[in-house]
Amino acid sequence: MGDPAGIGGDITLMCWSNRQHLNLKPFFVLDDPDRLAALALQLGLKIDVEIIATPAEAVTVFDRALPVMPLSKPLQSTSTQARQASADMVIESLDRSIDFAMQGDVAALVTNPIHKGNLYAAGFQHPGHTEYLAARAAGISGDNVQPVMMLACKEIRVVPITIHTSLRQALDDLSTDLIVQTADICIQALQQEFGLMTPRLAFAGLNPHAGEGGNMGREEIEIIQPAIDVLRARGIHCLGPLSADTMFHSEARQSYDVALCMYHDQALIPIKTIDFDNGVNVTLGLPFIRTSPDHGTAFSLAGTGKASYNSMAAALKMAADMATSKSFTND
């Protein structure tokens, strides 16, 4: 569902309305069906909303109506005052989606944008979607789950080694082991869910000019290069540490399949500059496939019809492609 005061409902409805043009696979929504029906009218979209009781029903309903599985309570309002009150419903939609994914009832999970501040006020104790999905999956499976955030579009894939933490904390958290662990999860996902059996990894340096031989910082020598050496010893194709200011132009991107960056903005600035409207957030390392549009709630655009659905459409397509690739690989 995402935050009901944001554009999640808008872009979901727009995607279904353009499902044939976009060639989308069937999906259903965990939300308030009355809210979505009213929102469709507000947006001027001729969309029938049909309630379903099980995920399997979505396949037969999808061509004629938007399949919606109702939440336990209706959402009476999407006003600012109602945002905190609706936080429990946002979490319910996440929990039920995760349950379906863990049980194998759905091929993938696509999440709409949430407003973390509203969830924090309601007691949400995770930095974001990524960490919450991992914690709940680990609680259900009993296994250790290390989530890895990948941002992807047609032009580039990027992975931040450290995610939702301050830059100061990211510098303290960065380690050779963390880089190797993150790379291992990326490699497995690229092979199983993207069909890249011999993935090429590029590693960004942390410091200006990748440390300039230790003259501008020694993290490249003491932390990043040892991780690359471990991976190369296993036969993994690795580049780096590379100067971050020269590794994202068009020609440089042809030499790798994914760029592993040392902190959040080092990874996200390139992809959002290259293709802001079509980026997809992918969580690797989970026991199920999860994607999301690579943008926020955009409260000011909600209900106006001005929000772009491109990133949501890309997230739905990528989830379907990953599910197909994973099924083929497992076979």
Q: Is residue 282 pLDDT above 90, yes or no? A: yes
Residue 65 sits in the same domain as residue 130: yes
Q: Which helix (DSSP H) or strand (DSSP E) does residue 12 occupy?
A: helix 8-17
Determine the structural domain holding residue 174 and report its residue range: 155-274
Are residues 120 and 161 both part of a single domain? no
Assigned domain for 63 exists:
yes
Residue 206: closest CA among 238, 249, 170: 170
Question: Do 37 and 106 lie in a common domain?
Answer: yes
Residue 220 lies in a domain: yes
Shared domain for 120 and 6, answered yes or no, is: yes
Residues 112 and 159 in one domain: no
Per-residue pLDDT, 329 = 59
Domain stops at, among 226, 242, 274: 274
Q: Do 234 and 331 have their domain in common? A: no
| Per-residue pLDDT tens over the stretch 223-271 | 999 999 999 999 999 999 999 999 999 999 999 999 999 999 999 999 9
- pLDDT at residue 93 in the model: 92
pLDDT, average across residues 165-182: 96
Q: Do 128 and 9 share a structural domain?
A: yes
Q: What percent of the chain has pLDDT over 70?
A: 95
Residue 331 lies in a domain: yes
Do 209 and 321 belong to one domain?
no
Q: What is the pLDDT of residue 124?
A: 76
Asked if residue 280 is part of any domain, the answer here is no
Task: Give me Rg for the CA atoms of the chain.
Answer: 20
**Continuous segment of H or E residues that includes residue 119:** helix 116-121
Same domain for 140 and 120 = yes
7, 122: one domain: yes
Question: Is 1 in contact with 112 (CB distance < 8 Å)?
Answer: yes
List of residues 6+ apart from 230 with CB closer than 8 A: 176, 180
Q: How many CA atoms lie within 13 A of 187 on its CB side?
A: 17
Q: What is the pLDDT of residue 207?
A: 97
Structural domain includes residue 282: no
Is the pLDDT at 118 greater than 60? The verdict is yes
pLDDT of residue 79: 53
Domain count for the chain: 2
Residue 303's CATH number: 3.40.718.10
In a domain, 160, yes or no: yes
pLDDT of residue 89: 86
Residues 120 and 17 in one domain: yes
| pLDDT, tens digit, 9 for 90 and up, residues 7-50 | 999 999 999 999 999 999 999 999 999 999 999 999 999 999 99
223 with 105, same domain? no
Rounded mean pLDDT of 101-115? 94
Strands ordered across the beta sheet of 66-70: 29-31, 66-70, 49-51
Least confident segment among 120-134, 141-155, 292-306: 120-134
pLDDT given for residue 216 in this prediction: 95
